[in-house]
Structure 1
Amino acid sequence: MDELPPAFWQGVEEFNQGQYYACHDTLEALWMEATDPPKSLYQGFLQVAVACYHLGNKNWQGAVILLGEGIGRLQSYEPEFAGLDIETFVDVSANLLECLQKHGPEQVAIFSQLVLPAHQQSESASQDVSLMNRLTLLPKITTVE
């Protein structure tokens, strides 16, 4: 399978712009109609999108569970699929999951700032967010160069 449908690329754009709920809706519509491959690819990306959405709502448990499930589905597509850099996406997502697990639910407020637009971030968390952004904690869906 060399080409993915235009709706998938719309979902990629939504994901990379932090529109995680919209991305979920876009990819879920594809996932429901698809067969493998790429059905589990769509599901893996949409689960990571929902994990990021949960993170923005300070739902640590939802973020951790869905990150783990999404990563598990995407690993079978590594290192790349249809020109997508799955390996990097999985690595960054796994790093975020590890950080969330290490810091626990009591620190979720700091991590939730990662997924909020800059104008919605609390002033007290802005320095923490700047540091975390430099650590590249949020995955982006990219193509292989």
Structure 2
Amino acid sequence: MFQILRVFHINLQPNINKFMKSLQKKIMDRFMVHLKNSDYTPKDAKTIHSNSRDLTYGMTVTIRDCRVSSKFIELDVTVHKNNLELLVEKLVSIGQIDHSRHIVEEEIEKNQLIKDGIFYFNNERFWECHEALEGAWKQCTGDEKELIQGLILVAAALVHYQKYENVVCLSVLGRALKKLHNKSGEYYKINVDRVKQKIIEMLDKKEIFTFTF
């Protein structure tokens, strides 16, 4: 009697490729790359995002987002730190480098996080403001927690504005106003009443603008 031996071919290559990509991501670093803005507006964000990917084709890099402020073109990138300089060189046709910031988890106390958040907000670095204030929010309780959440939502709304997602921006501003509606006075030199007035003005006119804390 003969036995039939069945041989199954297992293609391991897809699994190997997935493993290698996962390994690459683990050894890559996240940066906020700020290029000098000559005359771009938030309307250009999607085009710049697409162009930046074309310019860096062939590199091991992820450009996950593009945001446009009056000062900077902000690219949220993941790349090996040794290749950051090469990445910046490839992006020079979009704009000269102003600065980059390595995004890492840090233990920072609340007061410093709020000061950082104010600095980032006043320099139209709204994503970083959002992250700093969220870190402070985690260390707060009660009314202060709700107030900071309102400020976080203002920053989050303006992140959407920088991506030309104006409908989303106005919606998030509405949520921010609800969080701040019974808050007033000064908080770390932030005039809360003035912030609320700016939000109301944007919602009433359906026109978005940036301002300082």
TM-score (norm 1): 0.64
SS for the counterpart of 1:33 is coil
Structure 1 counterpart of 2:186, one-letter code: E
- Unmatched 5+ stretches in structure 2: 1-109
The percent of aligned pairs where both chains have the same amino acid is 21
* SS of alignment partner, residue 38 of structure 1: helix
* 1:134 equivalent in structure 2: none
The answer to which structure has the higher strand fraction is: 2
Q: Tell me if structure 2 keeps the 8 A contact 1:71–1:90.
A: yes
Match of 1:27 among 122, 133, 137: 133
| 1:124-143 matched pairs, under 5 angstroms | 137-141=209-213
Residues 114-143 of structure 1, C-alpha deviations (whole Å, 9 max, x = no match): xxxxxxxxxxxxxxxxxxxxxxx42321xx
Greater RCO, 1 or 2 (C-alpha within 8 Å, sep 6+):
1
Instruction: Tell me which of 150, 158, 169 is aligned to 1:52.
Output: 158
Q: Which runs of 4+ in 1 moved over 2 A?
A: 79-84
Superposed displacement of residue 82, structure 1: 5.2
Alignment match, 2:204: 98
Answer yes or no: is the 8 Å Cα contact 2:124–2:210 preserved in 1: no
The 1-side partners of 2:210 and 2:137 are apart by 23
Which residue is equivalent to 2:3?
none
1:22-80, Cα deviation, whole Å (9 max, x unpaired) = 00111111112321231111111110001011011111222011101112212222143
Equivalent pairs, count:
104
Distance in 2 between residues matched to 1:81 and 1:29, nearest whole Å: 17
Match for 1:40 among 146, 150, 154?
A: 146
Given residue 50 of structure 1, which amino acid in structure 2 is its aligned partner? A
Q: Which has the larger radius of gyration?
A: 2
The 2-side partners of 1:56 and 1:14 are apart by: 14
TM-score (norm 2): 0.45
